[in-house]
Amino acid sequence: MNVNRAWQILPGQLWPMDSVQEALFINNLRESTKPKHFDRDDVSLLLAILRCGSNLETVLRIAPGVKPGALLGAYDKLEALRFESVMSWSKLEADITLIKNKKIMKSVGKLMPHVSDMLTLDEYLDDPSSAVSLLGEIKSSVQRMRVFAGSLEAILAQHKPGSTIGVKLGAELYQPNNPGVYGNSNYLPDRIASLSPVRVRDLLGESKFDVIL
């Protein structure tokens, strides 16, 4: 097995699945099992599979104790939490007055804590025009990161699994110890494979002192 980084513990393309690959992986899981109870180990394994771009059959062969139903249960939980946060951000984009809605801002903060922290400062809560201006700047930054991530993902789709250039480009998207695009504070994750360890921890409500994967 060609392991290029310490976190790449599973065989695969050695960079995160794109949206099409992730959807196919999950659809294949749904065809063979139903969501089942999961624990944190199942979450960590799911993330490793998605980040390494691994094939489920290969993983089952080298680790026969893997529980597909638990992986699907973990995925559905994370996806529900991710989607809720993204929807809260969409509502905030459309209505700046929601910065006074604690539930919405807490949800936004699961994926973009800096946005929640900044917009809930007294200077913005008390000055709507300043809040509108700041929100506009943040929206532009989020869009730039979305486009940048998409361009790298499109290039990666042209490379063979495990290629040297592909692994290098993939590390620009995800690198746990040196956050890449997916770890950028203005990146809004569009799928589970693009969640950084910190965002996974925040979505699950884990302590910042817990080990995060």
Residue 5 resides in a domain: no
Q: Find the length of the chain.
A: 213
pLDDT of residue 3: 47
Residue 8 resides in a domain: no
pLDDT of residue 207: 72
Residue 121 resides in a domain: yes
Residue 149 resides in a domain: yes
C-alpha separations of 134 from 54, 129, 146, 171, 182 in Å: 40, 9, 18, 30, 22
State pLDDT tens for residues 96-122.
999 999 999 999 999 999 999 999 999
Residue 173 structural domain: 19-204
Neighbour tally for 90: CB within 10 Å = 12
Residue 3 resides in a domain: no
Three-state helix/strand/coil letters over the chain = CCCCCCCCCCCCCCCCCCHHHHHHHHHHHHHHCCCCCCCHHHHHHHHHHHHHCCCHHHHHHHCCCCCHHHHHHHHHHHHHHHHHHHHHHHHHHHCHHHHHCHHHHHHHHHHCHHHHHHHCCHHHHCCHHHHHHHHHHHHHHHHHHHHHHHHHHHHHCCCCCCCHHHHHHHHHHCCCCCCCHHHCCCCCCCCHHHCCHHHHHHHHCCCCCCCCC
State pLDDT tens for residues 40-84.
999 999 999 999 999 998 999 988 889 999 999 999 999 999 999
Amino acid at 39: D
Residue 14 resides in a domain: no
State pLDDT tens for residues 144-167.
999 999 999 999 999 999 899 999
CA-only gyration radius of the chain, Å: 18
pTM of the model: 0.91
Residue 212 resides in a domain: no
Q: What is the domain count for the chain? A: 1
Residue 2 resides in a domain: no
